[in-house]
Amino acid sequence: MNDPGSNLIEVSLAHNNFNNECVKILASALQNNKKLRVLCLDRNPDITRSGFNAFRQVLCNTSSINATYLSNHTLLSVQTEGQTVRMKKGIRDLLKINRIRNKSKVAMFKISKFHSISMEPFFAWDLKILPIAIKWFDTALTRFPDVSNFHNNNQMAIGKKKLLAIYEFARMLPMHFVPTPNVQTRNKRKHSMMTRSRRNA
């Protein structure tokens, strides 16, 4: 499974006396695997929640945006029938997210959920990059899978991140957001000031 060229789609390791250390090694081997979809670990009672937690890092490494992008987006199911403990709900949800067929959308979802995306590196392009950023957030908003309460919570979270991105541009490039008054508006303002001045005199 550690071989990127492996064509295994489903593997059963049930009744193999696996323990936490075995599972951690197995999970690490899946880091670069793009084929395995189903892993059966039924009836391995020595695996505890600590062992199952190893899949969390593999499915969504949040140490950086690039690490999240390169996480495993292929594994769809880890079967654990007959275990004394269950995997955490967060891991099960990540497996459900992986069921989206378009893996670039899976990566987009994970990045948008677990990372704050700063616009500062893009300020050199002025406002040219802002429409692209807004489109990215809008696309992310439409791609949420129906996973528990992820949908509503993450729509709100991504909406806030989108507004924050616009705010960052407005704060750093205020002159692009404040409209310049046209000639007619300036003349009206000037006339109004002159009228008030005469009245005061």
**Do 148 and 89 touch, CB atoms closer than 8 A?**
yes
Task: Give every CB contact of residue 184 below 8 A, 6+ residues apart in sequence.
Answer: none
List the pLDDT tens digit at each of the 201 positions of the chain: 766 677 899 999 999 999 999 999 999 999 889 999 999 999 999 999 999 999 999 999 999 999 999 999 999 999 999 887 889 989 998 999 999 888 988 898 888 888 877 777 777 766 777 787 778 777 766 655 555 455 556 667 777 888 888 777 777 766 555 565 555 555 555 555 555 555 555
Distance CA 74, CA 33 (A): 8
Under DSSP, is residue 77 helix (H, G, I), strand (E, B) or coil?
strand
Q: Could you give the angle at the alpha carbon of 186 between the alpha carbons of 181 and 187, nearest 5°? A: 150
pTM of the model: 0.69
Q: What six digits make up the tokens of 14?
A: 């049930």
DSSP string, 88-150: -HHHHHHHHHTTSS-HHHHHHHHHHHH-----GGGGGGTTSSHHHHHHHHHHHHT-----TTH
